[in-house]
Structure 1
Amino acid sequence: MKTKIKTIYKQAERFAELTNKAIVSGNISRAKKLLNIAENLLVSGSKETKEVISTVYIYSVSTFMEIRHCSISNLFPKTLKAEYVKQINAISA
């Protein structure tokens, strides 16, 4: 039986894990679909959803991709990429 995911943060972590697994397995079309779902949530979700996608999902997926030396610019949709760049600039400032 599946364990219930109780918080939006846990859901975002799980969503990031699914994206990362798709990348590792070479299923780039699935990874892009998942990234596009995250993009839609970031653009049209509630304030809480946008915050979670920004802080949990983007951080997890981008960190994973950097460790694996994947090109983020090729996979991230426009808004996700802009949020990623914003986070990177905030860290280096």
Structure 2
Amino acid sequence: MKNQVKSVYKQSERFAEITKKAIISGNILRAKKCLALAEHLFITGSAETKNVISNVYVFSVSSFMEMRHCSISHLFPQALKAEYIKQINTSGV
């Protein structure tokens, strides 16, 4: 029961952690599967789901990759990559 996650925000944070651990361990195939699932949820989900994927998942994974100087261009699927670019442009970086 200790692994039970309550809110969609916490679930998204946990999902981002799983994705980051896959990247750290070099399991790029698993990381791409996670990103593809996030993309699917982003495209087909409710407005709340899209918001959570964008603001929690994409932000967390892309921030992690930036800090580790990883190239995200080949990992992120199209819609998530567009969200990432939108976040970069909004932040003024």
Q: TM-score range by the shorter chain?
A: over 0.9
Question: SS of the counterpart of 1:82?
Answer: helix
Question: Hey, what does 1:36 align to over in structure 2?
Answer: 36
Matches within 5 A, 1:51-66: 51-66=51-66
Which letter does structure 2 place at the counterpart of 1:44?
Answer: T
Please report the TM-score for the alignment, with normalisation by the length of structure 1. Answer: 0.96
Q: Percent same amino acid at aligned positions? A: 66
Q: Please give the alpha-carbon distance, in whole angstroms, between the structure 2 residues aligned to 1:44 and 1:87.
A: 20
**Which is richer in helix?**
1
Structure 1, unaligned stretches of length 5 or more? none
Question: SS of the counterpart of 1:72?
Answer: coil
Structure 2, unaligned stretches of length 5 or more? none
Q: Deviations 1:6-41 (Å, cap 9, x if unpaired)?
A: 000000000000000000000000000000000001
Which letter does structure 2 place at the counterpart of 1:71?
Answer: S
Question: Hey, what does 1:46 align to over in structure 2?
Answer: 46
Question: Hey, what does 2:21 align to over in structure 1?
Answer: 21
TM superposition shift of 1:3 = 3.0
Count of matched residue positions in the alignment of Structure 1 and Structure 2: 93
Please report the TM-score for the alignment, with normalisation by the length of structure 2. Answer: 0.96
Displaced runs of 4+ in structure 1, greater than 3 A? none
Cα RMSD, aligned residues only: 1.1
